[in-house]
Structure 1
Amino acid sequence: MSAPQPLSQLQQTAEPLLNAQETQFWLDKAVAWGQADRPDSQKDTCLHLSGLRDFLQQLLTHINNMSSTTETMKKLPFLGQFLGRLCWNPYVTVGDTSRELLLRCLWGLYSDHPSNAVERKANQWIQKLLRQLATEDDDAAAQALMKHIGAPDKEYHLEVLKKMVTKLQENIGKSCSFPSTINQRCACDTILATSEACVPLVTCPEASSLIDALLQRPVTCVRDGLSEDFLDALSSACASQSLSLEEQALISLWCHSLSSLEEAVLSLLESVTNTGSTPHKLELQVAQSLLPKACAQHCSMFLVANDIFRSVLKQAEGNESVKSLIQTFTRCFMRELALLQPQAMSVSMKAFFPQSPQSLLTPLITLPSEMSQEAWKSHLNWLSSSLQRVTEGEEEGAIDSRSTRGHDKVFEAWFLLVECGHWVQVAVQLLVTSGPEDCGPLLRLLTFYHHPTNRWHHRALQLVRAKEVWDHLSCLFSRIRRPLPADRLQSLATLLSPPPPPPQQPALAPSFTLNLLVNFAVFCQIPLSASTEILQTVVDESGLFDEAACALSSLELRLNEGNCLPSDGVHLRIKELQNTITHMQSAPSPAAI
C-alpha cells in the first residue's frame, strides 16, 4: 500500500452539522503529523489525541446517518484520505479508543454488496488499511470486520508497536552530556519528548519495559524530567488497575508525581476505614501497598504520608480505625527502615519526624523488645510525666496569645504517641499487675491517649473516671466469687455502650474500657474459665463482639512481634478467649430462635 496523497485539493465542504473550521483544523493536523516520525509530530499527536477522538466520534455519527458508501464519499470527499493518514500514524492507532473509532469508521464505509466501482474500490482500500489496525484485541468492531472481509496479518500492528517501543527506548540509554555550544541540545531533552510520546502506550504490555526505564532513569541534570501528561496517564491507569507496575517502578512514579503518592495514601485510608479490617488483614494491606517501603527509601514521601494522616486524625480524633492504620503504617515503616540499615543511618530520625517533640521522639520510637521488661514501668512513668508537662503547658498558655502554638505542641505529642502505639499496649498490660500506688502514671498516659483534647477542661475528670474503671476491673479479676457480681458486670457493659453524655460532659472512651477489660482477661491470675465468663458476659451485654475480637487479635499480633513479652500460657488464654467471642458471634440471638 502506498502512502496517502496530499489533501490540498481534497478539502471540501462537509455536512452542515460538521464544523468547517474544525474539520479544516484536523485535516491540517493529519497532513502535518504524517507518520509521526519526528519528535515534534509525536508530541503534537499525543497532545491532541483527546480532541481527535471527539472529532472521529462526530465523523462516525455522520457516516452512520448516510444511506450508502457512495453518499458518504459524495458528502465527505475528504474522508478517505483523512482516515488513511491516521491509519499510518502509530501514535493514533496504538490507543484502544482511537483505534476502535477508526475501525468503526472503516466499517461504516464498507459495503457488504457493492453496487458500483466507487464502493468496490473503497472495499479494496479498506482491506488494505486493516493491516494498519489489526491487533490481538477481541473488540467487537475488529471481529465484525475480520468476519465480513477476512482482514489478514493480525501480527502487523504488534510488530509496528514493538519497533516503536524499541526506537523510543534507545533515547533513554543516552547519558546526559552538557552542550559544548549554546545551540547544541542536551541529551536529556529527548527524555521529555520520549515520555510524551509514551502517553498513548501506558496500558500496552509491550511498553512496560519502556515505562520502567523512563521512571527509574537517574536524574542527571536540571533539564531531565518526565512529562506531566505521562505521569498523569500512569497514575490514572494504576488507579483503574489497567496497569500494573513493578515494585520499584511504582515507587519511582510516586517520586515523580506528588498527586499519585497522595492518591495512593488516600486510597489506603479509604479501603481500610470503610471495610473495618482485622489487625492481621490491616497489616497485610499496609505492607502490600508498598507505601511503608517507599517512605523508608525516601524521607520526603514519609513526610507527605504523615501529613495526610495528621490532617485526617485532626478531623477524626476518636476514630479507632484511623488510629489503627497509623500505628500499623508506622510499624511497617520502621520495619522497612531497619532493613535499609546501615544505608538509612545517614538520615536522622528527626528528619522523618520534624514536627514531633524531640525529647519524646527516641523514647517513643524505641520498641519495648529493645529494653528489659523490668525497665518498662519506669520508662512509661517517664513518658507519662513528659506528656503531662506538655499538656500542662498547653493549659497554662491557653489564656495568652500562644495558646494555638501550645495546642499544636500537644497534638504533635499525641500524634507521635498514636504512631508508637506499642507503648500504649504495654501500659495497658502493666495495669493488670499494678497496685493503686503504681497505676497513676499509666492511667494518665492512657487517658491522654484516648482523650487528647481537653474539652471544657475535663481531663482531670476523665482521669478520675479511668481510675474508677481500673478499680472496678481490678476488684472483679482479683478473686473468684460465685455467682459473678451481676451489678459490676452490668456497670461495665454500660461503660462500653454509654448513653449520650450530658452537655459539656464527655463520656470515657469505650475503647479504653474494652482494652483494659481484654488485658485483664488475658494477663490476670484467676483461672481461664472465670476470665472467659466475665469477658463473655460483658461483651454479650454490650454487643461489642467485633471490637472485642479486634482487641484480642491486636494483642496477639503485638505479642507475636515480641513487643510485649508474654508469660506462660498467655497465648493459650488469647486463643480460648478468641474462640469464645467467635462462638458468640455465630450463635443465633434469642429473638431469632
Structure 2
Amino acid sequence: MSQLQPQTQLHQTAEEPLLNIQQMQLWLDKAVAWGQADSPDTQRDTCLHLSRLRDFLQQLLTQINNMSSTTETMKRLPFLGQFLGRLCWNPCVTADATSRRLLFQCLWGLYSERPGNAVERKANQWIRKVFCQLATEDDDAAAQAVTKHMGIQPEEYQLRVLRKKVAMLQENIGKSCSSLGNMNLRCSCDCILATSQACVPLVTCPEAAPLISALLQQQVTCVRAQLSEDFLDALSSAYSSKCLSLDEQAVVSLWYHNLSSLEDAVLRLLEGVHTSTGSTPQKLQQQVAQSLLPKACAQHCSIFMVVNDIFRSIIKQAEGSEPVKCLIQSFTSCFLKELTLQQHQRSVSVKAWFPQSPQSLLVPLLTLPSEMPQEAWRRHLDWLSSSLQRLTEEEEKGDGESSSSASSEGHHKVFEAWFLLVQSAHWVQVALQLLVTPGPEDSGPLLWVLTFYYHPTNRGHNRALQLVHAKEAWEHLHSLFSVLARPLPVDRLQSLVTLVSPQPQQLSPPTLLILNLLVNFAVFSQQSLSGSTEILQAVVHRSGLVDEAACLLSSLELKLNGGSCSSSDANRVHLRIKAFQNTLTHMHAA
C-alpha cells in the first residue's frame, strides 16, 4: 500500500492519542485488501509489509494497555475489532512469531475480566469466538480452553495455527504447469514463488521443515517456477548459523539454488586446511568425506563447476600449498566415487564435468591405477609424460610469438593440464613408486611428470634446471639405497642433504619433490628397514624436514589404503611406513 509509511511513535498526551483513527483506517484498508492471503500477489505483499505491521501492532498494544477499559479503547479506535479479526484470518501474519505474539496480546488486552457493559460483553464473546475458530474447527475440547481464563495454552494455539499455515502452503507446491490437464489454462507456477516468499518468516520453525524441503526439491517445470531470493537468503543465513536443520537432500538442493550458500560450504572446507591444528591427510580426507559436497557435485554438474572453479582459483594463488593439493585430491577421489554410483542410475559422460580440462588427458588421468594391469603402468605414464611435454612446448612456442592471445591460450592449457594432474595425483604416486625400482627403461619421463607436478610454470625457464636437480637427487638416492654395507657413503648423503634442504622461510618445489622421492625410496626399496631408517633419519634431521616427511608418509599410507596404487608386498610396505612414522615421532619429541 503506497500510502503506508513507516510509523513514527508519538508521545501520548491527554489531547493526542498514541494512534489515531486515520492510521487505523490505513492499515484496515490494507488488511481488507489482503483478505486471507490466498493469492500469490497478496501473500507477497503481506510479507513485504510484515515488518511495518509489527511496528504498528506494537504501538497498538501500547495504546490498548494504556486505556482504562475496553470501552474506552473501542471509542478511540472504532475499527480495532474489524482490523484484528481480519489479521487473525491471515496465515501470513499468524505464521510470523512476532506478529502472532503481538496480535494475541492485543486480543488479550481487549478481553474484560469483569465486563461492565454490553460493549465489553460483546467484545468478550467475539474474542472467544475468534480464538475458538482459529484454534480448532473440529476439537470441542480445545475450543473449551481457548482463553486464559479457561486454561488455554497460547503456545498450543500458536502451534495449531502454524501447522495450518504450513499445510495450506504445502498444498500450493504441487500446483505447477506440468500438473494442469488443459494447457490453455493459465500457468500456476507463480504460486511457487509466492509460497517461498510467504515461507521466509518460517525458516527457523521445525514445523516448517517438510515445507522447506518440498520447496527446495520442487522440480522446475518452467521459468516462472522460481524460488524467492529472500527465501533462499534466509535459508542460507539460518543454515550457516546452525539455526536450521535440513536433511541431506534439502541441503544439496539449497546449494543448487543458492550460490552464496554453496560458496560458504566450500570456503568452510578450505578453512579447515588452515585452521586445523596438526592437520594430516587423514584428517583432511575425513573432513571431505563428512561433507555433502562430493555427493552434491555428483548429482548436479553445475554445483561441481562452481566448486571446481573455487579450487582452481585457490590453487592459482598458492600453487605450492601441499595441504590445498591434498584437499583437492581427497575431494576429487570422493567425488569420482559418488559419480560412479550416480552413473549406475543415469548415463552422463565424465567429460561434462570437466569441460576445461584437455580432453585427450581426461580419461587417462582419471583412470585409477587399480583399473589396469600393473605391467601397463609404465607405458601409461610414458604416454602421459609425452602428452604433457607437448602441451608445455606449445606454451613456450606461444610465449615466443607476438600474439598475446596465443600465449594466453597456451598458459591456460598448461594450467588446466596441471590442475587435472593435481586432482589425479594417484599417477604421481605411481611414478614415485616406479622410480624406486627402475627397470631398463629411461627414468626421464617419470622424473618429468614429477617435476611438472611440483613446478608447473616455467618462470625464468627453470623447468630444465628443476629436472636436472630431480635427476641428480634420484641418482643419489638410487646409489644410497643400493648400498648394503656400512658405513653409508658420506659424500652421497651430504649431497642429498644439500639438495633437499629448503631455502630460508620457504619450502621450494625441488625440496618437496626430492623429499617425496626419499620417502618412497625408504618405503618401497629392498634396502633393510634399519638401513632405510638410517638414511631417512639422517637426511630429514640435517635438513630440518621432520614434519614434512611425516606428512608425506601419512599421505602415502592414505593412498595405499585407498587403493590408488597397489604393491605386490603391501603388508611389508605398511609395516615399514609404521616404523618410519614411529621414528619421526621420536625425532620430533626429541
TM-score by length of 2: 0.80
Give SS of 2:10's match.
coil
- Note the 1:95-134 alignment, pairs <5 A: 95-96=96-97, 98=99
**TM-aligned CA distance change 1:413 to 1:53, over 3 Å:** farther
**TM-aligned CA distance change 1:392 to 1:67, over 3 Å:** same
8 Å CA contact 2:497, 2:542 repeated in 1: no
Task: Output the CA distance in 2 between the equivalents of 1:388 and 1:428.
Answer: 18
Is 1:348 matched up with 2:328?
no
1:295 aligns to what?
Answer: 297
8 Å CA contact 1:466, 1:508 repeated in 2: no
Residue of structure 1 aligned with 2:574, choices 568, 571, 581: 571
Give SS of 2:304's match.
helix
8 Å CA contact 2:54, 2:99 repeated in 1: yes
**TM-aligned CA distance change 1:476 to 1:243, over 3 Å:** same
Segment of structure 1 superposing worse, 540-549 or 318-327: 540-549
Identity rate, percent: 64
Is 1:211 matched up with 2:215?
no
Could you report, residue by residue, the CA deviation over 1:47-99 in whole angstroms, capped at 9, with x for unpaired residues? 23345456667x49x959x996669x99x966976778656644334345555
Task: Output the CA distance in 2 between the equivalents of 1:133 and 1:292.
Answer: 46
Could you report, residue by residue, the CA deviation over 1:322-380 in whole angstroms, capped at 9, with x for unpaired residues? 21121111111111111123444x32222221111122112111110111111112211
Alpha-carbon deviation of 1:222? 3.7
1:415 aligns to what?
Answer: 419
Is 1:468 matched up with 2:482?
no
1:320 aligns to what?
Answer: 322
**Paired amino acid for 1:334:** L
Task: Output the CA distance in 2 between the equivalents of 1:181 and 1:355.
Answer: 41
Alpha-carbon deviation of 1:199? 1.8
**TM-aligned CA distance change 1:349 to 1:200, over 3 Å:** same
8 Å CA contact 1:465, 1:508 repeated in 2: no
**TM-aligned CA distance change 1:15 to 1:436, over 3 Å:** farther
Task: Output the CA distance in 2 between the equivalents of 1:581 and 1:237.
Answer: 45
Could you report, residue by residue, the CA deviation over 1:199-240 in whole angstroms, capped at 9, with x for unpaired residues? 222221112222222222223334332222222222222222
Alpha-carbon deviation of 1:403? 0.8
Structure 2: unaligned runs, 5 residues or longer: 1-6, 13-17, 136-146
8 Å CA contact 2:500, 2:511 repeated in 1: yes
Alpha-carbon deviation of 1:576? 1.7
Alpha-carbon deviation of 1:41? 2.9
**Paired amino acid for 2:457:** T
Could you report, residue by residue, the CA deviation over 1:411-464 in whole angstroms, capped at 9, with x for unpaired residues? 111111111111011111122222796321111111111111111111111111
**TM-aligned CA distance change 1:181 to 1:361, over 3 Å:** closer
Could you report, residue by residue, the CA deviation over 1:261-318 in whole angstroms, capped at 9, with x for unpaired residues? 3332233223334326422222222232222122222222222221222122222211
Task: Output the CA distance in 2 between the equivalents of 1:216 and 1:486.
Answer: 67
**Paired amino acid for 2:227:** L
Alpha-carbon deviation of 1:385? 1.3
- Note the 1:354-433 alignment, pairs <5 A: 354-400=355-401, 401=403, 402-433=406-437
Q: How many residues align structurally?
A: 554
8 Å CA contact 1:286, 1:329 repeated in 2: yes
Residue of structure 1 aligned with 2:341, choices 327, 334, 339: 339
Residue of structure 1 aligned with 2:332, choices 330, 333, 340: 330
Alpha-carbon deviation of 1:105? 8.8
Alpha-carbon deviation of 1:465? 1.5
2:153 aligns to what?
Answer: 152
8 Å CA contact 2:470, 2:510 repeated in 1: no
Task: Output the CA distance in 1 between the equivalents of 2:479 and 2:54.
Answer: 75
Give SS of 1:340's match.
helix
8 Å CA contact 2:40, 2:190 repeated in 1: no
8 Å CA contact 2:203, 2:244 repeated in 1: yes
Alpha-carbon deviation of 1:103? 8.1
Task: Output the CA distance in 1 between the equivalents of 2:473 and 2:295.
Answer: 40
1:479 aligns to what?
Answer: 483
Alpha-carbon deviation of 1:524? 1.8
Task: Output the CA distance in 1 between the equivalents of 2:51 and 2:414.
Answer: 50
8 Å CA contact 1:132, 1:156 repeated in 2: no
Task: Output the CA distance in 2 between the equivalents of 1:230 and 1:519.
Answer: 53
**Paired amino acid for 1:582:** T
8 Å CA contact 2:368, 2:426 repeated in 1: yes
2:144 aligns to what?
Answer: none
8 Å CA contact 1:33, 1:45 repeated in 2: yes
Task: Output the CA distance in 2 between the equivalents of 1:525 and 1:498.
Answer: 32
Alpha-carbon deviation of 1:566? 2.0
Alpha-carbon deviation of 1:581? 2.9
Task: Output the CA distance in 2 between the equivalents of 1:166 and 1:514.
Answer: 63
Alpha-carbon deviation of 1:382? 1.4
Task: Output the CA distance in 2 between the equivalents of 1:283 and 1:486.
Answer: 39
1:140 aligns to what?
Answer: none
1:137 aligns to what?
Answer: none
8 Å CA contact 1:131, 1:151 repeated in 2: no
**TM-aligned CA distance change 1:28 to 1:383, over 3 Å:** same
Give SS of 1:154's match.
helix
1:440 aligns to what?
Answer: 444
**Paired amino acid for 2:294:** P
**Paired amino acid for 1:15:** L
**TM-aligned CA distance change 1:514 to 1:91, over 3 Å:** farther
Task: Output the CA distance in 1 between the equivalents of 2:359 and 2:68.
Answer: 80
Residue of structure 1 aligned with 2:504, choices 499, 506, 512: 499
What is the Cα-based RMSD across aligned positions, in Å?
A: 4.3
8 Å CA contact 1:39, 1:193 repeated in 2: yes
Task: Output the CA distance in 1 between the equivalents of 2:455 and 2:497.
Answer: 19
8 Å CA contact 1:88, 1:132 repeated in 2: no
8 Å CA contact 2:134, 2:161 repeated in 1: no
Alpha-carbon deviation of 1:474? 2.6
8 Å CA contact 1:418, 1:449 repeated in 2: yes
Give SS of 2:343's match.
coil
**Paired amino acid for 1:429:** Q
Alpha-carbon deviation of 1:533? 3.5
**Paired amino acid for 2:435:** L
**TM-aligned CA distance change 1:148 to 1:386, over 3 Å:** farther
Segment of structure 1 superposing worse, 512-521 or 429-438: 429-438
Is 1:516 matched up with 2:517?
yes
**TM-aligned CA distance change 1:49 to 1:68, over 3 Å:** closer
**TM-aligned CA distance change 1:280 to 1:48, over 3 Å:** farther
Residue of structure 2 aligned with 1:283, choices 273, 282, 285: 285
- Note the 1:49-60 alignment, pairs <5 A: 49-52=50-53, 59=59
Alpha-carbon deviation of 1:473? 2.6
Could you report, residue by residue, the CA deviation over 1:4-50 in whole angstroms, capped at 9, with x for unpaired residues? xxxxxxxx995169999999866654554455455433222222334
1:263 aligns to what?
Answer: 264
8 Å CA contact 1:103, 1:133 repeated in 2: no
Give SS of 2:429's match.
helix
8 Å CA contact 2:481, 2:521 repeated in 1: yes
**TM-aligned CA distance change 1:13 to 1:238, over 3 Å:** closer
